Amino acid sequence: MSYPVRSAQIPQNFVSMTALGAVRATALRDPARKAVVCGDRTLSYGMLVERSEKLRDATITTLGLTKGQNGAIVARNCIEYIEVALGLPDAGVALATVNPRFTPSEIKAVVESAEAKVIFTDAETAPAVRAAGFDPSIRIIEFGKDYEALIAAPPKPESLPVIEEWDVWTIPFTSGTTGLPKGVLLSHRSRLLFGLISAAEFGCFGPDDSFLVVTALAFGGGLAYPLASLASGGWFEILDRFDAKTTLAKLKSGDFTGIFLVPTHFQMIFELPADILATYRRPKIRSIISSAAALPQAMKEKIVDFFGDDVLHELYSSTEMGVVCNLRPRFQLLKDRCVGTPEPHARVSIRREDGSECDPEEVGELWVSSPTLFNGYYNRPEETAQASKDGWVSVGDLAKRDAEGFIYIVDRKKDMVITGGVNVYPREIEEVLVRHPDILEAAVIGLPDERWGERLLTVAVPREGRSLSAADITAFCEGKIASFKIPKELALIDELPRNANGKVLKTELRKHFMSKPA
């Protein structure tokens, strides 16, 4: 389907949605209202706007950057992170958000791919940034004395650039599960609409709401939910790193109405001792949002039992598409391995290889059309064209739709295994394996095989003090999945390789086991 030709005419009273503009609106209503808390520091809306605007002015006058250029931030979670994410784009300078856990060489590669002219960092991350060996023309500004001096009293620009809502706000990077990370161009409009949709869906983004931020701000979801809170006039608290017990204690206090957690966080929570879990069971929380990677059905059952049957929302989303589907709380245990129905404004199409629409229960590639779609990959026109077709975007996920319109993510297209000419989806097998009493976590991959084309390998992390064999896996899976889907080989490792979002890096597993004899 093609869109009609767009008119270039902009209505006379049109006002663009911008990130800092949304915060200014609340500051005008109530400048003293609490906006963000981190440790023993609190910023009101008025203070946040003032400091962000000073950074905007300094970006133009002191740093000499102009609209269309990029900056970068390589830092742990902190209040200054929010100021930079608001102030720099208000000068028309998009912000590349870089994982602070990267090595110096990884930092260098990502920052240079974003063509950043300035780098903001914190004291803990600064040594790695400086060790990257950037060209002296790229200024490195460390939070603390350097940063405070920059925004203390910057000269006022003669004029400010016009910021349109389709201009790039931030450039987070893909998780790199299938190759080198790509810079994702996210507009002000995309992220603010993400926030408005989230407010309607989750009921925890409003002027009387508070959000607990435990995920890294460097990632799309990590920064999107704080912006949603600010855009609605609520407040949020940032933790500089995730700690399971601390997070449960915060939620048990009743001070927060919402939180965003990834599957790895839940796993860390349920690894806590039983007495601690008993203490923090059933905290007073309105909405728990989970995304970034699939929640196994067995984990959903634990979450519902521990937190309650009316709080969990599991999303299907991506950095490129924004939020696409939501499985609402009442369906968590009714719809097995389901990601719900499309969000407002999102259209989902599940297509065959020839582009035609799949029938119900037929597996195909999932495509999305939505106002929250990305602008493209930075300096990656071929990859952008591959992911985009006539206003629709795909990130290579295979899915199916049931007769009631609910969507099920079957697997990554690149993770599908073809063995003996039959399509096998590892995620289906993994859902069975994680219920094995001796398995902590598991991944299934395909390896080349002369006879079958590909053969299945289970890579498992056994629970402490437990032993596993291939025969154990076979016996456990029999009767639960078809015999041709049961992996005949088993490899035990101490920990599955994951990216910072908690997604298993199957490319790394395949590389590691590729040389193993059949």
Question: Which residues, in sequence order, are CB contacts of 342 under 8 Å at separation 6+?
Answer: 324, 325, 348, 407
- Stated pTM of the model: 0.84
Q: Are 127 and 135 in contact (CB under 8 A)?
A: no
Helix then strand count (H, E) for the chain reads: 16, 27
Q: What is the 3-state secondary structure (H, E, C) of 56-99?
A: HHHHHHCCCCCCCCEEEEECCCCHHHHHHHHHCHHHCCEEEEEC
Number of residues written out for the chain: 518
Q: State both tokens at 2.
A: 């093609």
Summarize pLDDT for 413-456 with one digit per residue, the tens: 777 787 766 677 788 888 889 889 989 888 888 887 767 778 88
Beta strands 388-389 and 392-393 are antiparallel
Single-letter amino acid, residue 116: A
**Taking a C-beta distance cutoff of 8 angstroms, is the pair 338, 356 a contact?**
no
Question: Each residue of 363-418: pLDDT tens digit?
Answer: 999 999 999 999 999 999 998 998 999 889 998 888 999 999 999 988 777 777 87
How confident is the model over 11-23, as a mean pLDDT?
92
* Range name among 16-30, 143-157, 252-266, 493-507 with the lowest pLDDT average: 493-507
Angle at the Cα of 311 from the Cα atoms of 307 and 317, rounded to 5 degrees? 115
At the topology level, CATH places domain 242-414 in Rossmann fold (3.40.50)
pLDDT > 90: what percent of the chain?
64
The alpha-helical segments, DSSP class H, found in 133-290 are 145-152, 188-202, 220-232, 244-252, 263-270, 274-279
CATH topology of domain 19-187: Rossmann fold (3.40.50)
How far is residue 321 from each of residues 16, 46, 117, 149, 388, measured CA to CA in Å?
20, 32, 27, 38, 11
Q: Any bridge partners for residue 393, and if so which?
A: 368, 388
Domain positions in the chain are 19-187, 242-414, 420-513
pLDDT at 177: 47
Range with the poorest average pLDDT among 42-56, 188-202, 398-412: 398-412
In sequence order, what are the residues at sequence separation of 6 or more whose Cβ sits closer than 8 angstroms to the Cβ of residue 397?
316, 365, 366, 409, 411, 412, 413
Sign of the torsion formed by the C-alpha atoms of 191, 196, 201 and 207: positive
Q: Which residues pair with 37 in a beta bridge?
A: 42, 237
Residue 1 pLDDT = 42
Name the 3-class secondary structure at 322. Answer: strand
The one-letter amino acid code at 206 reads G
Nearest to 312 by CA among 324, 302, 322, 323: 302
Report the share of the chain in percent with pLDDT over 70: 95
Start-to-end Cα distance in the chain: 46
Q: What digits encode the pLDDT tens for the residues 203-247?
A: 999 999 999 999 999 988 889 999 999 999 999 999 999 999 999
- Asked, colleague to colleague, whether 242-414 and 420-513 share their fold, the answer is no
Pick the CATH number of 420-513 from 3.30.300.30, 3.40.50.800, 3.30.379.10, 3.20.10.10: 3.30.300.30
Q: Give the three-state DSSP class for 193.
A: helix
What is the rounded average pLDDT for all residues in the chain? 90
**pLDDT tens, 268-288?**
899 999 999 999 999 999 999
pLDDT beyond 60 at 132: yes
Q: State the pLDDT confidence band at 4, using cuts at 50, 70 and 90.
A: low
Q: Over the stretch 88-109, which tens digit does the pLDDT of each residue have?
A: 999 999 999 998 988 898 899 8
Residue 293 has pLDDT above 80, yes or no: no
- In the structure, what pLDDT confidence band is assigned to residue 27 with cuts at 50, 70 and 90? very high
